[in-house]
Structure 1
Amino acid sequence: MNKTLEHKFISDLEENQNIVHKVCRIYTNNKEAHNDLFQEISIQLWKAYPKFRGDSKFSTWMYRVALNTAITLYRKSKRTIKTQDFESVLYRIESIDYDDSEEKQLKLLYKAIHQLSDIDKALVLLYLEDKSYKDISEMMGITEVNARVKMNRVKTKLKNILNP
């Protein structure tokens, strides 16, 4: 890859990195996993960048690559055995969070979102980003009608999780 293309990629990634962080926040539970996923998405974006034709906005294309990467890794992680570091169990110290009510509600929402399927998480992320159903359908590779129907079902799921 030539230097001009490399500089363009770095510029585009820096300008739109919040997209990747938002995807990482939806699919991970801790800082290390967030950083790992961010790195993996960045690698996949770099590999796919030469094929980006500019038919859509860079941010739309970036969402699609980021979500596909996160969903693929999320599915692979479900097949592995979950382990926990022994030291973290031994030295776990409970802390009291003095969050304001809005931050607590946001944490509850993210906790509820983490209970959704990988596709539903992607829908919620794009919906919370105020993406139109047309954009959501383009990014997810589904019809606009299907995006609306799925989003209504996800809203119902979230209401049931948050208010059992």
Structure 2
Amino acid sequence: MNKELEHSFVEQLQKHQNIVHKVCRLYTNNADAHNDLFQEITIQLWRAFPKFRGDAKFSTWMYRVGLNTAITLYRKSKRSINTQEFDSVEFKIKAEEYDDTEEQQLKLLYQAVHQLNDIEKALVFLYLEDKDYREISATLGISEVNARVKMNRVKKKLKTILNP
């Protein structure tokens, strides 16, 4: 890969790395698994970056790759995530620490979200990121109507989990 492409990728990843951290937070339960998933998503983003055409915003594309990677790995392992070695490119990105001292309400919400299935988690994540249903449907590859219906069902499910 050429240096210009590498520079562009690193710049975009640094700018939007919180997206990856949030995906990792949804699909992992500890710091090691979080770091492993962050690395795997970064690898998948790098591999797919030359094919990124710019039809969608970079952040939307990043959500899609990140969520697909997390869901695929989660389904394969269910408990631990195996990472791949990636020695050919060295990324000099300082990983921002994700603040685990969040408010109690947020912790309860994450506990409830962990009880959802993979697609429901992705819906909640994108909804909490203030994505509109058009962007949610584009990211998840479902219709806008389907995204709305699923989101309403997920909201009811979360209310039941949080207020038994």
Matches within 5 A, 1:1-164: 1-78=1-78, 103-164=103-164
Which runs of structure 1 show a deviation greater than 6 angstroms over 4 or more consecutive aligned residues? none
2:47 and 2:144 map into 1 onto residues whose CA distance is 29
Q: Secondary structure at the residue paired with 1:29?
A: coil
Compute the RMSD of aligned alpha carbons.
Answer: 1.4
Distance in 1 (CA, whole Å) between partners of 2:106 and 2:145 is 28
Q: Secondary structure at the match of 1:106?
A: helix
| Aligned amino acid, residue 37 of structure 1 | L
User: Any unmatched runs of 5+ in structure 2?
Assistant: 81-100
TM-score, structure 2 normalization: 0.85
Q: What TM-score do the two structures reach when normalised by structure 1? A: 0.85
1-structure distance, mates of 2:107, 2:6:
37
Give the whole-Å Cα distance in 2 for the aligned partners of 1:127 and 1:107.
17
Unmatched segments (≥5 aa) in structure 1: 81-98
Indicate the structure with greater helix content: 1
